[in-house]
Amino acid sequence: MSLFQVHRDLLGREASAEIYERAVALRSAFEQSRVARRGVDPRTRVSRVVYADRLGDLAGGLEAAIRDRIDEAVAGLGITPFETAWFEVQLTSHNDGDFFRNHTDNASPETAGRTLTFVYYFHAEPARFSGGELVFTGADGDEVCVTPSNDTLILFDPRTSHEVRRISCPSGRFEDGRFALTGWLHRPVPKPRQDDFFNDRIFTPIGRWVPSSAAAWPARRAVTSTRNRPLQPSADALLRLYGDLHRAGPTPDRVDVRPSLSGEEFLRDYYARNRPVLLPRVLGDSPAVRDWSPDHFAARFGDVSVQITAGRERSGDYEQRFRETVRTVTLADLARMLAATDESNDYYLVARNNFFENPKLHMLRDELRPPPDIVNDSDRRPGSAKLWIGPAGTVTPLHYDEHSILFTQVHGRKRFRLVPSFDRDYVYPRDKYYSDVDPEDVDPARHPLFARASVMEVEVGPGDGLFIPVGWWHWARSLSVSVSATFSSFAWPFANTRLLPGR
């Protein structure tokens, strides 16, 4: 018996290249990888992943190829023959510095059904990375190292200890990394019978205990699940509980202000606890804070075209109808518009303009200097930093984001109102990310529950930063001509933590 099986040139050059192109096109769907029972754990695993519900038919050809090789794998790896209950797959991206420490694939209750592991490697040709070897540890402690190559399938028993060694990808570009379709064939696993040892006395207040005695035990075993045992709390009930606990604290409506916050303190006290914080002068001596303004952009890059949204005041849903409002102007034109406007929400250069990805403007990214122990400033992937430019009066409606951001004010001032993620029931969600409530003009007849929400108000000025945690609802108004930037790649290996609706 062997520790693993290798099948090279599995699907052919064309099919492998097509999978690679489709994987790269899914860039925005990747999130940080997790570890069973612990979630995101950068000490154990660093990579990015897309789960099966967003892959479509990407792995269809691969699944067929694996199923054709099951009998050979079972015999060669010494696995007891099994009936395949389901096929689990995920798409993984490893880039510079990524790794996965020694582990097995079925050591937790939720992974116990994994019976055959597969890893299908693919990447750009020629390879633009090195390392990332798959290393198996046998029962005798000896290691066997497999170097990943394009269009190669590896099959092994999920009980076998293995690790992914650190990848080196000098460019750091997403498309230059190593990709893999990784997954498992599952055997059927019967659900364990819940034992009455864990009875109502553990989970309910004293007044709701159901009396029991040795004599009554058999009858109680038969009826507890339907009559006596309390219902499990719903997700909504837990959110309301978190809200009640938050409002029981001394400052439920105030954002902490923390000058000179270290990266370690930021991660411990705010990022990991999903709490906002205002960081005065977080941009320090950035040339952007000293120099940037609409006139400055016009003087240096006046003939460069950018996309703005215009005609916003004619559309009540301008954020959702973004594409209908896009208009191209030069930076000189935008500066003239701002100089001629006292206050307006009709036009705005917003994050989706890809300002820093413009080859004529990307050097401006170097003029922003966020704190290196909080923001990974070397991450220059598209979307890692974004820019807004607009007049006084521009409004971003109440909404939430699926990842945390560090908002920074470069020029001018903005006012924010934030609502905790657990107050979702009180903000009247609509269209997935947005609230139906205007925090500046709340209609108590339409939105009576909003009065229960914890609303925090904070103002940011030049050089200030505001950490907005993933899932937190936030609204913003420009109080003057404004230039703002956001960062979403933080200075720890997993970069950010994404909210997964429906998972």
Confidence of residue 396 (pLDDT cuts 50, 70, 90): very high
When pLDDT is averaged across residues 4-10 and rounded to a whole number, the result is: 95
Q: How many CB atoms lie within 10 A of CB 59?
A: 22
Confidence of residue 317 (pLDDT cuts 50, 70, 90): low
State the CATH architecture for 242-487. Answer: Sandwich (2.60)
Whether the CB-CB separation of 119 and 163 falls below 8 Å is answered with no
Buried b (16+ CB within 10 A) or exposed e, 186-225: bbeeeeeeeeeeebbeeeeeeeeebebeeeeeeebeeebe
- Say how far apart CA 273 and CA 271 lie, in whole Å: 5
* Residue 192: pLDDT over 50: no
When pLDDT is averaged across residues 464-487 and rounded to a whole number, the result is: 96
**Nearest residue to 414 via CA among 452, 463, 448:** 463
- Say how far apart CA 324 and CA 326 lie, in whole Å: 6
**Nearest residue to 152 via CA among 118, 127, 116:** 118
**How high is the pLDDT of residue 315?**
65
Cis ω for the linkage preceding 81 (within 30 of 0): no
Of residues 414 and 227, the one with the higher pLDDT is: 414
pLDDT, one tens digit per residue, over 345-382 is: 889 998 777 799 899 999 999 999 999 999 999 888 88
**How high is the pLDDT of residue 212?**
40
Whether the CB-CB separation of 79 and 73 falls below 8 Å is answered with yes
The CATH classification number of 4-186 equals 2.60.120.620
Portions of the chain given CATH number 2.60.120.650: 242-487
Highest-scoring range by mean pLDDT, 30-39, 98-107, 228-237: 98-107
Helix (H, G, I), strand (E, B) or coil at 97: coil
When pLDDT is averaged across residues 443-466 and rounded to a whole number, the result is: 94
**How high is the pLDDT of residue 199?**
45
When pLDDT is averaged across residues 392-407 and rounded to a whole number, the result is: 94
Of residues 290 and 203, the one with the higher pLDDT is: 290
Helix (H, G, I), strand (E, B) or coil at 206: helix
DSSP state of 342: S
DSSP state of 211: -
When pLDDT is averaged across residues 182-206 and rounded to a whole number, the result is: 60
Using a pLDDT cut of 90, give the percent of the chain over it.
61
0.85 cut: is pTM over it? no
When pLDDT is averaged across residues 78-98 and rounded to a whole number, the result is: 92
Confidence of residue 409 (pLDDT cuts 50, 70, 90): very high
Portions of the chain given CATH number 2.60.120.620: 4-186
**How high is the pLDDT of residue 231?**
52
Whether the CB-CB separation of 55 and 19 falls below 8 Å is answered with no
pLDDT, one tens digit per residue, over 9-21 is: 999 999 999 999 9
- Say how far apart CA 481 and CA 490 lie, in whole Å: 28
Buried b (16+ CB within 10 A) or exposed e, 17-36: bebbeebeeeeebbbbbebe
Instruction: Copy the structure tokens of residue 306.
Output: 């950018």
